[in-house]
Amino acid sequence: MKIVVIGDALVSSATLVDAAKQIQFPGSDEQIEFKIFEWFSDLKKEQFQEKILEIEKNGPECVPIPDGVNEAMVDADYLLVHIAPVSKSMIESANKLKLIGTCRGGLEHIALDSVRAKKITLIHVIRNAEPVADFTIGLMYAETRNIARAHYEIKHGQWRKSFSNDPYKTILTNHTVGLVGLGYIGKLVAKRLNALGVKVIAFDPFVDKSKIAKEGINVEFLEFDQVIKQADILSLHMRLSPETENMINKDVINKMKPNSYIINTARAGVLNKADLIEALQNKTIAGAALDVSWVEPIEHGDPLLDLDNITLTTHIAGDTIDAIPKAPYLLKNVLNDYFQVGFSDMLIK
């Protein structure tokens, strides 16, 4: 059995190999050959972030793959990566590949059409789901209660007590939170809101509602328009795709309550930037909080920076000391479950 492993600057190949040794692959009694590659593993975090942004924006064909990886793929049985590109040429080279495991949620680094064409199993994990869920709740508090704005004003010599959302300020439990997307992160957000006593409504046409109920998550499922109209806080958790790009646009925002807020810790592209800016300028909604931006870092002079009813953070929702480096062990657990029972929430079809 041959396993190709590609480490990078955030997830080491050594950790991937160690996790792989704990996976019960079918036929794992066979001798395992590891073929190890590195993808910009020598870069510092800030430099590596540039590679991540490039691959997230333009896909796996826009960045170089490690030398020799295509040759190694010819007789590989399994491929384990973090965010290293899994390109069309890699997939086309693979004659025996049974499964790709990637220890991140986004799949921009993988040539999905090629994977589907060759009917290769693809399993991913949301390696920073817990941190993102925590951060999402934090943004709800920060935006609705002006935490970041008050801090900013104090640092600039002002003791500000009045804010643009003053007519709407209330405690979190008085809000109804609408979740668009109830995947792994969305479910964790819902669980936290349940514990806080906050009413949760959701739209997700792909989720198994009975399974959500069996997990003990208290969510009222509604049609998209009803979630938009009823939510005081609209939290976005859908994957960016041609179907979801600019899903939250002027038509949607105009249906929201004037006291409502948008929280986005998913992908910037699910939200129409121009329409959001117009709505915030006109006070169509009360505010927004974004951990993702259409251009990162946000450029000087961007109209987002002139708004007084938005909280902006630097794409750090998933950035904790343990979430990403330990992601291979989460992938190990998911793969062991998959090999044992034959299905997984993280299976990409």
pLDDT of 22 > 90? The answer is yes
DSSP one-letter string for 202-254: EE-TTS-HHHHHHTT---EE--HHHHHHH-SEEEE-PPP-TTTTT-B-HHHHT
Mean pLDDT for 210-234 is 96
Is 267 among the residues known to form the active site? yes
What confidence category does residue 331 fall into, taking pLDDT thresholds of 50, 70 and 90? very high
What confidence category does residue 76 fall into, taking pLDDT thresholds of 50, 70 and 90? very high
Beta partners for 248?
Answer: 271
Domains and CATH numbers, the chain: 2-127+324-348 (3.40.50.720), 129-312 (3.40.50.720)
- Continuous segment of H or E residues that includes residue 151: helix 147-155
Is 215 among the residues known to form the active site? no
CA 264 to chain centre: 10
- Location of structure tokens 């117009």: 278
Q: Which are the contacts of 14, defined by CB distance < 8 A and separation ≥ 6? A: 7
How far apart are alpha carbons 140 and 336 in whole angstroms? 36
Query: What are the structure tokens assigned to 167, written together?
Result: 């007519």
CA 283 to chain centre: 28
pLDDT of 56 > 80? The answer is yes
Q: What is the mean pLDDT of the chain?
A: 94
What confidence category does residue 319 fall into, taking pLDDT thresholds of 50, 70 and 90? confident
How far apart are alpha carbons 347 and 349 in whole angstroms? 6
Catalytic residue among 267, 278, 299, 300: 267
Is 151 among the residues known to form the active site? no
Which amino acid does the sequence have at 325? P
pLDDT of 341 > 80? The answer is no
Return the pLDDT at 129. Answer: 87
pLDDT of 23 > 80? The answer is yes
- Location of structure tokens 């009413």: 199
Nearest alpha-carbon partner for 72 in 84, 89, 60, 59 = 89
Query: What are the structure tokens assigned to 17, written together?
Result: 């190999």
- Location of structure tokens 């592209």: 269
Sheet holding 347-348: strands in order across? 33-39, 2-8, 78-81, 99-102, 121-124, 347-348
Give the Cα-Cα-Cα angle 106, 290, 300 (nearest 5 degrees): 105
Residue 32: count of CB within 10 angstroms of its CB: 17
- CB 77 within 8 Å of CB 3: yes
pLDDT of 345 > 90? The answer is no
Say what angle helices 129-144 and 147-155 make with each other, to 10 degrees: 70
pLDDT of 132-164, one tens digit each? 999 999 999 999 999 999 999 999 999 999 999
pLDDT of 348 > 80? The answer is no
Pick from 54-58, 186-190, 325-329 the range whose average pLDDT is largest.
Answer: 186-190
pLDDT of 349 > 70? The answer is no
Share of the chain above pLDDT 90, in %: 84
Preceding amide of 205 cis, omega within 30: no
Return the pLDDT at 78. Answer: 97
Render the burial of 168-186: b for 16+ CB within 10 Å, e for the rest.
beeebeebbbbbbbbbbbb
pLDDT of 347 > 80? The answer is no
Mean pLDDT for 292-312 is 96
Which amino acid does the sequence have at 80? L
pLDDT of 109 > 90? The answer is yes
Catalytic residue among 145, 192, 239, 315: 315
Backbone phi and psi for residue 282, each to the nearest 5 degrees, phi listed first: -90, 0
Beta partners for 100?
Answer: 79, 122
Selected residue with higher pLDDT from 27 and 212: 212
pLDDT of 237-276, one tens digit each? 998 889 999 999 999 999 999 999 999 999 999 999 999 9
Return the pLDDT at 343. Answer: 62
Beta partners for 6?
Answer: 37, 81
Catalytic residue among 54, 145, 296, 300: 296
Return the pLDDT at 43. Answer: 94
